[in-house]
Chains A and B, each alone.
Chain A
Amino acid sequence: EAQVTQNPRYLITVTGKKLTVTCSQNMNHEYMSWYRQDPGLGLRQIYYSMNVEVTDKGDVPEGYKVSRKEKRNFPLILESPSPNQTSLYFCASSSYRQGERPTNEKLFFGSGTQLSVL
């Protein structure tokens, strides 16, 4: 089954304690992205990756890191979480390829991670 697997589903942590949210896709997609979703603000992109070893900042990258060492995995790292990073996080992937004209490369989303930083 084609899917994006994101873990954990729920996470409660304390300020300053490093954490990683994992994301893996089995569709051989080159494009992967991380979003956060807060009430009234919609989806905001944190980082995205067009392919292995290629990552770029989205709209709200401060306080986050990512890596793309393999095509299937795109972990999100919070080195020193703060309460303003409490949010619902989604990983997503699509078949979009850089340099090609897009033709309905819809995003496949993971099930989300509800993070609370105390």
Chain B
Amino acid sequence: GQNIDQPTEMTATEGAIVQINCTYQTSGFNGLFWYQQHAGEAPTFLSYNVLDGLEEKGRFSSFLSRSKGYSYLLLKELQMKDSASYLCAAMDSNYQLIWGAGTKLIKKP
């Protein structure tokens, strides 16, 4: 079957570096997406990886290893506004998205 796994919740302090992991099993693979979702709001696009390696975009970076079925989202210099849920989604061979349940990132006081 198709499956996405990511941690339910993570906590971190302001200014920290946070790595959110995602493992996936899909029938075929056409890329992996990360979305950010603040409570009660719509998800917004963060990154897309289809080739192995690290893609950097400001404070956010995303990594993909296709052979391991593994991705991570790296957030640097954590800010208050980064408190949100982070959704991992893999696109299968039928171009359908398989979604993880999301990782809620909580900022420690």
Interface size bracket, B side: 20 to 34
Which residue of chain B lies nearest to A44 when distances are taken between CB atoms in the complex?
B99
Contact of B41 among A45, A96, A108, A112 (CB under 8 A): A112
Q: Count chain A residues whose beta carbon lies closer than 8 angstroms to a beta carbon of B.
A: 22
* Interface presence of A2 (CB below 8 A): no
Chain B residues whose C-beta falls within 8 Å of the C-beta of A109 in the assembled complex: 42-44
> Is B48 part of the contact surface with A, judged by Cβ < 8 Å?
yes
Query: Which residues from chain B contact A90 at a C-beta distance below 8 Å?
Result: 42-43
- Please, how many angstroms separate the alpha-carbon atoms of A112 and B38 in the complex? 12
Q: Which residues in B have their C-beta under 8 angstroms from that of A43?
A: 43, 87, 89, 99
Distance of A106 Cα from B96 Cα, bound (Å): 12
CB <8 Å contact, B95 and A102: yes
List A contacts of B50 (CB < 8 A). Answer: 103-104
Q: In the complex, which residues 73-104 of chain B have their Cβ closer than 8 Å to any Cβ of chain A?
A: 87, 89, 91, 95-97, 99-102
